[in-house]
Structure 1
Amino acid sequence: MKKITTLVLLLTVGLINAQAFKGKGDTKINIGANIQEGGSGIQGSADFGLGENFSFGFVTSYLLGVNEYSGFYGSTQYYGEKPDFKDRFDAKFRINANLGSVINVDEKLDVYPGLSLGLKNFGGHLGGRYFFTEGFGVFTELGFPIAKYGNDDKLFYNLNNQFTFSLGASFNL
């Protein structure tokens, strides 16, 4: 039993040699929960390293649990209204400044502020990834709109035009 425990410990310590962002050619995939006012859903993103501290990527989100709306919005009365697919879905192109090697706290940690251009708005985000092993870690992101598109008279206009919080798993490919 001692030999098995020792072997498992050695393998675990060997796997912990993870690095959060390696630079050019690095690929990260994030899958997690998206939490915001009026609904919650799923978020998926992919980031591709272009340089030592720069990456680009794509992020998409879909709101699963959305509150029904009953009441007046503007001069129109609604009862039990639910958003359509186009109101729940959002996709964005984004760029990140990967600062893990700059702040030099831990090579397993990457902090990345960035900008995004999406279907609903132009926005920003601040995220962080921590890798436990070479291929697996966790991430969290805060997103916010800077400039919103469209007509704010629409009932579900603010679903993808507000502050968001995301957390989940991160994978190194």
Structure 2
Amino acid sequence: MNETGAKDPTPGEDEVSLLLDDQMCFALYAAQRALTNRYRPLLEEFNLTYPQYLVMLVLWEHSALPIRTLGKLLQLDYGTLTPLLKRLQTHGLVRHERQASDERSVLISLTEQGAELRERARVIPAAIGQAAGLTPSEVGQVKSLLEHLTESVTASQ
């Protein structure tokens, strides 16, 4: 019997388990939700959502990028990325500029306010690292496994 009183349908040697607790996808889902929920109060101080924070991380690293490149790095499509960028622009953190060399290409760059936010936001990774309860080595291992998982699943599609 399991915790709910139901009989455990123990799979045979060649069978795949359909128990929720045996599913990797659920463990990933639960971990993602827990991390995102931990980010929420930290990011509220900066008036950012988690996806907006990811955009800012990329721009803090690169200063300015075409929308297409930004989307590739974040694995976000144009339809998802555009509203995020508009909200960041409304907050005065980024600006959109058409490239002179190609009018179809839009460059996203940090404003002075967006660049200054970087220093204040340095507290976020430390708080998340502490909440995760993992050593730097364990964080590296988890990250490596997740990157491998992403590459493998993407390649199998």
Could you state the TM-score of these two structures normalised by the residue count of structure 2?
A: 0.19
Say which structure is richer in strand: 1
Larger RCO (CA under 8 A, 6+ residues apart) = 1
